[in-house]
Amino acid sequence: MPEAVSQNLTLESLASTFPITFPVPTPTTQHDLVTTKDLHREEDLLRNPFSFRHWWTAIHNLKEASVEELKAEGPSDLSPDVAALLGPLSSPASRKSLQRQVYLYEAALAQFPSSFKLWKSYLLTRMSFVLGKRLQKKKAGGRKKFPEMREALEDEKEAQERWEGGVDGVVGWKEWRLLVATFERALMWLPRLPGLWLLYLSIFNHPFCPPQISHTHARRTFDRALRTLPPSLHGRIWARYLLWAEAKGGATTVAVYRRYLMVDPSVTERYTAILLAPGNSDPRPLEAAKLLLSLARKASRGEYTSPEGKSPYQLLGEFIDVVEQFAEDVGLDVTDTIESNDKIAKAAEDEAATLQQQEPVGPDGKLIRFAGPAVSAKDGKAVPPYDADEDPRNPRKLNIEDIVRKDGLDVYKDQAGRLWTGLATFWVKRAEFERAKLTFERGLASVLTIRDFTQIFDAYAEFSESLISALMESLANPDDDEDEDDVRETEQELDTKMKEFEELMDRRPFLVNDVLLRRNPNDVQEWEKRVALWGENDEKVAETYTEALATVSPRKATANFHRLYINFAKFYEEGGTKGEAEADLDSARKILDKATKVNFKTVDELAEVWCEWAEMEIRHENYDEAIRVMQRAAAVPKNTKVNYFDHALPVQARLFKSLKLWSFYVDLEESLGTVETTKAVYDKILDLRIANAQIIVNYAAFLEENKYYEESFKVYERGTELFTFPVSFEIWNIYLAKFIKRYGGSKIERARDLFEQALEKCPPKHCKPIFLMYATYEEEHGLAKRAMSIYDRASSAVADEDKFEIFTIYIAKATSNYGLPATRPIYERALEILPDKQTAEMCLRFASMERKLGEIDRARAIYAHASQFCDPRVHPKFWQEWNSFEIETGSEDTFREMLRIKRSVQAQFNTEASYLAAQMAAKQSGQETEAEAAPADPMAAAERQAAGGARAPAFVPAKQSTNVRLEEAERPVAAPGNEDEIHISDDED
């Protein structure tokens, strides 16, 4: 090599350096292979030729010595470019090291040819000299279960070997070939070890690997590995095989992936992405489209689950994306598509005809086939018939319209917008604009959701605008070879497209309405909107009403279905939308008559139809006809025992119990009929037991207006029998007021009987007004004694919240009639009956009355009795009044007794819950508690205490002292205070 360095190096001279390991170097052929230092090792190996440990130690020592020699070697005389071509073998020391190690490894393998450890170490050593330094990421943790192929490819790609340096494939071709030969020898001895195969396969990904090795030889080596290893290990080989095929590209990728997809279709999506990759020089859109279509169909049948979590609809969407992008390569043209559609339609008709024909049963042995025609099966499952649309090797193009209809529109009815726009875009890409326009129109006429409609309509509008823009640009920049006829034809086409675009924009509200009606043809409100869209077009309005009435199912219709019939009848009644035509009452009557035979959802809808019919007759002053219409509607059948809420019966059978119908009928009779006919209608309502309280009141008021007073009272009595409280309470109120107004005091006994009947079943919460009315009546027309007894009855009969008011009125009446002493037993009874929170107020009034009568001791006893219900923090008014009472009328002993009672009551209420309740009650009543009354500023408190001359309290300062004399002393007095006066505080007993 020093001689070569001194000369001008060429590629041939560099290649002549190799091979350096063939024939296998030995001490006889290479005299400097074994030095004097190695004699001891050689002798040791000769003495122990079958000891693996001795051989392994010798190899290990030789490697360490070689590393030290390489470190000690000086810089190379070669240029960087030449050194890069030779790689790790650029220095004489490295080449000599390789020869020595090969000699030692070959000698060891002669003794241990089946040692995997020895072969692996030998191969890694030779790879380090040929491939360069190996760069491989360390994997965390131990080996896990082999994942799915998609994940395995990602893991393998991430963990794929990288090399730094290496011998050039042209210069070191012989050494590369010797490395491959060494791998072949190793596999001859150990063919079932996957580790050796994976190590062998890794060299094919080296960037310097010669093409003779990295192409055909590599493919055959991958195939041999698959044939040699058991199927359980094929996944590890296939991961490297597929990555190698992706790196090679072209036909190699297609061939390898097609083979693997026959075994595992889980990487089909990855394969389609490779086929359509932007960097792919030979894209195969037809094959990718067929693979995606096959996956979408299998996923919809549940035979395939996307590793990436894609739904069948998403897979179909990817298929449509491919169709849009490669329209010319994937789909048939218009002519072929139409022919294919005709063939498919004819085949469907033949199949339907075949299914209708039954196989005869006779002596010839032919039997009826119940399970359908015979099908081929595999593993107990039916094998689907061959379909050229799913075969990626079949060059036949696809019928995109049939595929989108069969696999998309028939399955995903609520997500059809993307499918229609994709199909239309396919035709646009093929420049078949008329077919694209037809596709858009079909899509708009079939979608069921506003979202899909908006998607299709926006795409349609954009397509139309692009066509118009292209035509305008063509007119603005005409070609040189265009004549006047061509320009005129372009202008006509532009006018046509502009007109179509304007019509499309005008049709949008109608198209939206069509979508909503297709989604729910029983939507009455949408039919009304459609009528409104036609505006003043009477012909279209009549057609829309006719279509709506023929389409809508009465039992499934939305609210107000009857309004369609009513509005349709009004349309004829008013002479069209403009009112310019003559009123066609006969047509309106026919429509309403037809409506009366419709089985609506509710009886009220049918009743409203009858009422509208009668109102129409009234508007045209056909009063007798209106009466006859209502008589027809209110005809009572023989069997009146029909449940009004039985929806199993038609509404016509339950109409006679419609209160809405009878109310309108009776109003009509009151306005147009006689008193007798009106009474007959009211009586019929009462006989059918469908009347409500308002009907009773109206009937009685009608009779009263016509001077039938006694009959009106009978109606009130019938109403009180029909209804219970609280409904009958209102009837009794009106009845009693009317009776008293009519007769006054002339029929006292009858009035008393009526009051007693009203009170007999009246609940406590409703009887107060009746008791007050009763007592007032007795005062005005009867006896005061009976009035007092009524008040007495009321005090115990009414509800608790009304008793205080009753007692107040009772006491006032007793005072006015009998004087104050007569109220004493009433007060005593009130204290027994009233709840605790109202007892205190009543006690204050009782004590005030006793004070007026001069009964001081009785008043004091009443205060003492009421004190048990009054918390001093919640009812300060009561204690202030008692305090004033004792100051005015009491003595020191009685005052002290009052204070003692106050403290005991306060202690009784002194619990946390009651204290919080007291605070809340005090805040709500606008009063402050003792804690709130304390001044916020301590200095202000001290100044106020100093100004008052009072001693500082021990704990919390009180807002107002209960010491009467101390309060008097604090008042500004000209005379000095008495030093010997007795101070009475709240703390004294």
Residue 489 is predicted with a pLDDT of 85
Token readout for 975 is 């005379």
Token readout for 477 is 């920049």
C-alpha gyration radius of the chain: 55
Q: How many CB atoms are located within 10 Å of the residue 36 CB?
A: 6
List 133's β-bridge partners, or say none.
164
* DSSP structural state of residue 406: I
Residue 982 is predicted with a pLDDT of 45
Helix (H) or strand (E) holding 826: helix 824-833
Residue 282 is predicted with a pLDDT of 81
Residue with token string 């403009």: 578
* DSSP structural state of residue 962: S
Higher per-residue confidence, 148 vs 311:
311
Percent of the chain with pLDDT strictly greater than 90 = 24
Q: What is the C-alpha separation between 448 and 413, in angstroms, rounded?
A: 7
Residues 342-362: pLDDT tens digits? 998 898 888 878 766 655 554
Q: What is the C-alpha separation between 206 and 343, in angstroms, rounded?
A: 54
Residue 145 is predicted with a pLDDT of 60
Q: Are 292 and 318 in contact (CB under 8 A)?
A: yes
List 377's β-bridge partners, or say none.
382
319 Cβ contact partners less than 8 Å away, ≥ 6 residues apart: 289, 292, 293, 296, 403
pLDDT above 80 for 175: yes
Residue 820 is predicted with a pLDDT of 78
Q: What is the C-alpha separation between 60 and 68, in angstroms, rounded?
A: 13
Q: What is the C-alpha separation between 737 and 762, in angstroms, rounded?
A: 17
Residue 267's nearest CA partner among 157, 151, 392 is 151
Q: What is the C-alpha separation between 879 and 847, in angstroms, rounded?
A: 13
Please name the residue ranges forming H helices in 520-576.
Answer: 524-534, 538-551, 562-573
The pLDDT-based confidence of 699 (bands split at 50, 70, 90) is confident
Q: Are 445 and 514 in contact (CB under 8 A)?
A: yes
pLDDT above 80 for 95: yes
Q: Are 585 and 620 in contact (CB under 8 A)?
A: yes
Token readout for 340 is 């294919």
The pLDDT-based confidence of 39 (bands split at 50, 70, 90) is confident
Residue 974 is predicted with a pLDDT of 40
The pLDDT-based confidence of 811 (bands split at 50, 70, 90) is confident
